[in-house]
Structure formats: structure tokens, C-alpha cells
Amino acid sequence: MASKTEGYNIYKIFKYFSRKFKIKDKALPTDVKEAFSNYAGSPEARMRPDQLRRFMAEHQGETEITLSDAEGIVRQVLSRRKNDVVQDHTTGLILEDFFYLLFLDDLNGPCNSQVHHDMTAPLSHYFIYTGHNSYLTGNQLSSDCSEVPIIKALQGGVRVIELDLWPSSKDDINVLHGRTLTTPVPLINCLKCIKEHAFVTSPYPVIITFEDHLTPSLQAKVAEMVTRTLGDLLYYPESECLTEFPSPESLKNRIIISTKPPKEFLELKDKGNVLANERESSGEETSGKDTVDGGLGVEFDADDRSESDQDDEDNNACGDNKSCQPAPPPEYKRLITIHAGKPKGGLREALRVASDKVRRLSLNEQALERAAASYPTDLVSFTQRNVLRVYPKGTRFNSSNYKPIIGWMHGAQMVAFNMQGYGKSLWLMHGMFRANGGCGYVKKPDFLMQNGPRNEVFDPKKTRPVKMTLKVKVYMGDGWHLDFSRTHFDTYSPPDFYTKVYIVGVPADCSKKKTEIISDDWAPVWNEEFTFPLTVPELALLRIEVREYDKSEKDDFGGQTCLPVSDIKQGIRAVPLHNRKGEKYKSVKLLMGFQFQ
């Protein structure tokens, strides 16, 4: 049990004894005092709006700040501190006001909050925030299917929603994870929620990937349902096969479909046989596999076969049999903007770039790792014009995730994640898509899209010289006493916090550092600086995690965040922390400094 009296934290021990811990005054970091004095004139002066504008432009690197903006910031800071509307901004900020401002992440956050990448390039030029089995509420085997996780994903900025389509017993279409105990949700429910929530967070296009296990008649029903429900939001190209994908800018507030083009279907009288045949060529997450060696022993899913493969098989099956029916109604095929599938042959053939069309190829995480080991530059070349989707291996029953950086290093646009599967890998995914204003599309670095002077392709394995050095200073943290109970970390004393700082990126850049442990303090002050030399800063992520030291048990979790190095702002910044699920705490923040050299 813990209580608080003036100036002290008091913790009860065995009901009879008490321990008193003096509450330390918040020590302003020396760098904060110096910055204030440099721009205000002295520690006792007031910082006028014009002086604040200079500080923001010169020290913080925000050159676009105007005098009017600075005046508005002064008003906001004074009104929040005084809990009143302040009309007069001319009095400026005292040192404590200035310190308060630096701890406001909405006014002084670590990343650029605006869309600032070129959004007019083809879709293949972007990393896209991608979900996997977006309808699942929990594990891959027995959880409920629902529109709720789809809504949550869209609200979090996800731009690619995956739906597995299966026939229902009532000649309708359900969404569920096939051959499992997951309970279905009607497709129409998913489409309606996508329409309603697609653009609440970002105006850039939402891509729906269908894993299709339907007969032609049900495919026609899907086409009618999609066009009727999505209406003018739905985009599909005039030509059947694109030679280049459209841009995110041109597809603002539009929804597009990605799936395999439907194959010709042999109509059988026995509907059970029809459904059985459909399931035998099941989707990316089922157990049916076509093993294609390509020198790697890489397994590709049977349903990844291209339309040409499927047509060949159907023609062989039909022969001269007059019971063969024509292709499904053209409406379904015409709705597909991003065609999925792979050509015949092994991995090398699958990664071959066609000059007359673009497509999407899907690989599971294991196939990607094997491909990256043997054909890294082929992967990069493929993703310069085409879309590569990576998805979790089938044994991740608990909806865990894999390391996304492998896909990004090789240009994979759709690194598909279980958004309900919490963990460090998902923290990295959240971090990557905090870039570019959190719009769900991050422009790939030029070196992934353009060949070098000798036509060489980027090779992630190649060692490069240091391109940039990032200096990270961890000043202090605060807010735990507001978001946690007083005995959450330690029953008999205030917490003992320390901070871990990681760089995640190409192998040469990966590194980790740790501050010292600050004992018995709810607002720890570290003032420790770390230096990270980076060879490929464009792909680097800064992962930050706070832990509470425990002598006898595993250290307690105190918050985390992940930031894209390419979008970090220089200067002294407020860095909000998140819980294990990626949800932002109300009050917990770190005060950190960032310098680029």
C-alpha cells in the first residue's frame, strides 16, 4: 500500500512499517536551460513569440514556423498552464512555460505530422500499411470473425484489408479463415464497414485483397455486392491488364480490389464435388501446397498460380467435353486492379519482370527469407514495378508476426501483419507507418527504385560506408504516476526505471544501448547520449522501450515506441510512449534530443 503526503511518497511494509521517499523536484535538463537562455536572453527573461520562432527554426529545424504560428503556440501554452483562455501573448514564456511546451507531444512531437512524400508515383513505389486476415479478432484457429478488427485497423491507418471469401450454406458469401473453427462474418458486413471507415484516418486508397474460394456464380454475386455497396468509391481500370499501377494521389478516396483473376470453371452436377475442387486449390493460408523448387526448395501456395496456369489445367480437364462452361461474368474480373498470381516455374521465374504488365506476387515469410538469401537483387528488381506481398507462415496460430525489415530491405510493398497479434514486430510496423504523416503510404527510398550508374541493383547484404550519424539523448521521463497505480511496479517503493534504445535496419546498422537505472523515482532523469552511425538511414527505425528494474523477477514493462529515423525531427522533443498493444498512454512521455550529423 502506498500513499502520498506533501513532498513524500510513503509505502507501507507488512502493515506496521512505513518507508518515506522524498519526491524530487523536476530537474530541468541543462540543454533546456541553455536553449531558453540563448533565445530569450537569460534564464529570468521571458521568451517572446519572435524569439520562440527563432528557436523553433534554428534549434528544432522547423523553418516553416511563422510569427503568427509562434504567437498561437504561446497562447496555447499559457492557457493550458493557467486553465484559462489567454488573449495576450505578448508577455511570452518563462522558463517553466518553455519546459512545459517541450513536453507537449502535440506541439513538439518527434515526427513530421504532415504528408510530405511525393504521392504521384505508381503504387509499387510505396511501402503500404498491410493487414493479414483482417477480420480475425484473435488467434488463427478458433477466434471470431468480425468487422470490428477491420474498423480498428482502418482507424489505425491500415490501407490493405484482407478478406477470405468462402461459400455459405445459404448460397451466400462468408468471410472466415477456411478449414478452422473461426466463426464467419457475412461479406456484406465487411464491405459496409470498409465503406464507412476507409478514409477516417487517411484519404489515400484502401486496397481489399480477396482470397477467393468461390464458384463462378458466387463470384458474380461478389461483383454485384461490391459495386452496389461501394458505389463511386470503387475504382477499377478500363484495361484488363495494367502496364503500370496508378498513384496514391490519383486514387485518393477510392477503394481498389486485388485478387487472382477467376479461372474458367468446369461445371459439375455434383455441387459437393465443385466445392471440393475449389477447396483443393485453396488460398494462401491453407495446407494445400504446390512445391516449386527453383533451386531453393521453396514452397509456393497452390492458390498463387497465375490465370494462365489455371486455364491450361482447365483446358486439359475439359478437352472436348461440351459441359465446359464459359468464363464467369466479366464484371468480377473487370473489378480487379491489382492482379495476383505467379507464372509457371521456380522462384527465379516468379520474380521475372514482364515489360507489358504488372502484377502482385505473394510469398510467405519463410519463402521470402530463402529468396532473400539466394536472389536478393532479383527481389528488388521485381518490386521496382510489381507488388510483392509477404504474409506470416501458417504455424503462427497465435497471430504472432515476423521481422518486417527483411521485406522492406528488398522493396516488398505489402508486408502483411496480424494487427491483433501484439509484440515487438508489430511495434516496428507501427513505427514504419508513423512516417509521412501516418497516411499509410511511405515512399520507398530511391535506391530501391533506381539502378546505380553501372545498372547495379541495391543489395541489402552489401557493406556500405556510414552515411549519417544519429545522436540520441534521453533526458528524462514523466507521467507514470498519472497512468499507473502507485504500487504497479513495486509494492514497497517507487519504480526504478531505465531506457533501452535500439536501431533496427539493415544488418550493419542494428545496435542497442541502455541508460543507467534510476532508483525510486517516478520522474527519472538520465541525461545520457548515444551515437548511432547509419549506413542506410532511410530504412532505419529507432525503437525505444522503458523498463522497471526488478531484482527478483523479470523487469516490468514501462512503455515503448518506435520512430522512423527518416521522419524524426531534430532538437528537443516530447516522445509519447505506448502500451504493449500499441495504444498511446495518456501521460507517459520521454523528453529526448535528436541530432543528425
User: Any idea which residue has 527563432 for its cell?
Assistant: 54
Q: E strands along 171-281, which residues?
A: 173-175, 185-186, 206-212, 255-259
CB atoms within 10 A of CB 63: 9
Q: Which candidate in 117, 132, 213, 481 is catalytic?
A: 132
Active site annotation includes 578: no
Can you say whether the dihedral through the CA atoms of 314, 319, 323, 329 is positive or negative?
Answer: positive
Q: What is the 3-state secondary structure (H, E, C) of 306-339?
A: CHHHHHHHHHHHHCCCCCCCCCCCHHHHHCEEEE
d(CA 375, CA 489): 48
d(CA 574, CA 61): 15
Q: C-alpha distances in angstroms, 427 versus 87, 518, 532, 542, 574? A: 41, 25, 20, 11, 19
User: Any idea which residue has 474458367 for its cell?
Assistant: 264
Please list, in sequence order, all residues whose beta carbon lies within 8 angstroms of the beta carbon of residue 368, skipping any fewer than 6 positions away: 379, 390, 406, 407, 410, 412
Q: If residue 470 lies in a helix (H) or strand (E), which one and from where to where?
A: strand 468-478
Active site annotation includes 339: no
Phi, psi of 9 (to 5 degrees): -100, 125
d(CA 414, CA 184): 25
Please list, in sequence order, all residues whose beta carbon lies within 8 angstroms of the beta carbon of residue 193, skipping any fewer than 6 positions away: 147, 150, 151
Q: Which three cell numbers, joined as nine digits, stand for 329?
A: 461474368
Q: Which candidate in 117, 125, 177, 213 is catalytic?
A: 177
Cβ-in-10-Å burial (0-12, 13-18, 19+) of 6 comes to exposed
Q: Which three cell numbers, joined as nine digits, stand for 87?
A: 488573449
Q: If residue 571 lies in a helix (H) or strand (E), which one and from where to where?
A: strand 571-578
3-state secondary structure at position 183: strand
d(CA 136, CA 134): 6
Q: Which three cell numbers, joined as nine digits, stand for 417?
A: 501483419
Helix locations, 112-158, DSSP H: 148-155
Q: C-alpha distances in angstroms, 157 versus 187, 200, 203, 433, 434? A: 21, 9, 10, 8, 9
Please tell me what DSSP assigns to residue 8. Answer: E
User: Any idea which residue has 536478393 for its cell?
Assistant: 376
Instruction: Please list the active-site residues.
Output: 132, 177
